[in-house]
Amino acid sequence: MTNNHNVGFILDSLLGTAYQFDDIKEVEFLIDGAPIGYLDMYDFSVPFERPNPEVKEKNKKQKVSPMRNEPDADPVIVIDPGHGGKDPGSIGSDGTEEADLNLEIAKKLRDYLEDRLNATVYMTRTTDKYIDLDKRYALANEKKADIFISVHINSSSNSSVKGTTVIYPNNHHIKLSREAADFVHNRVIDVLRDYKSPYEDNRNLAVLRGTKMPAILTETGFISNSSDLKYLKSNSGQDEIANKIYRGVKDWWFD
């Protein structure tokens, strides 16, 4: 706003209307740095529409898909609920199977990604079924996914250990995978203790090594820890974890 006179105005955020008082040359109004209207010496009020935050979100810069080379496309994501069927994964002190919890979190994550990020989401499994590891990453490669997310839960012989971490593969997409891991981890630690910062896969995990796109494996708490297990079994806990993973993916996609 440029003016050689004293000026006063009221911005009514509820009505979305600006009011001008006194003699001024020109007033430019901005929201988040974007011009939304002007007042000149002949105007006494200028109604305007507040920018829609959803529209603004859509206009943010998106990743260029390393698989599809489409800069403005909505993301394609493959979610892999770890274990399943004959492979229950780790088992909690009360008999809870990791595979079941992985599936519940993954389903909720799918819903968030589809509803809020407009992503096309594929699941390696939607029931308690065993899927070969090579078929899991093969689905992501076939669908030319922008990111592969494998959902797991940790375990330890020390029941006091708790918290979350994210693992990413050491392949030709390591930089993007590391960035995605960092974004997701920074969100999930809002609801789970920070067990360990995201780290490069040093075990050559089969489910990650064959991916041809950015990939992460989330360890969402410890099934061997009683407080983590209670949280992981709760519907609210599963929903919060899924929401935080979704937010991390969104942060990465629009970074």
Beta carbons of 36 and 48 less than 8 angstroms apart: yes
What is the C-alpha to C-alpha distance for residues 106 and 100, in angstroms, rounded to an integer? 10
Cα torsion 53, 56, 62, 68: sign? positive
Instruction: Clarify whether 219 is annotated catalytic.
Output: yes
Q: Give the integer Cα–Cα distance in Å for 239 and 235.
A: 6
Handedness of CA 58, 59, 64, 69 (dihedral sign): positive
- Tokens representing residue 243 in the block: 């929401």
**Which candidate in 98, 104, 179, 219 is catalytic?**
219
Q: Could you give the CA distance from residue 147 to residue 86 in angstroms, rounded to a whole number?
A: 27
**SS3 state of residue 68:** coil
Taking CA atoms, 174 is separated from 26, 29, 126, 168, 209, in Å, by 51, 43, 28, 7, 11
Q: Report the distance separating Cα 63 and Cα 70, nearest Å.
A: 9
Catalytic residues: 219
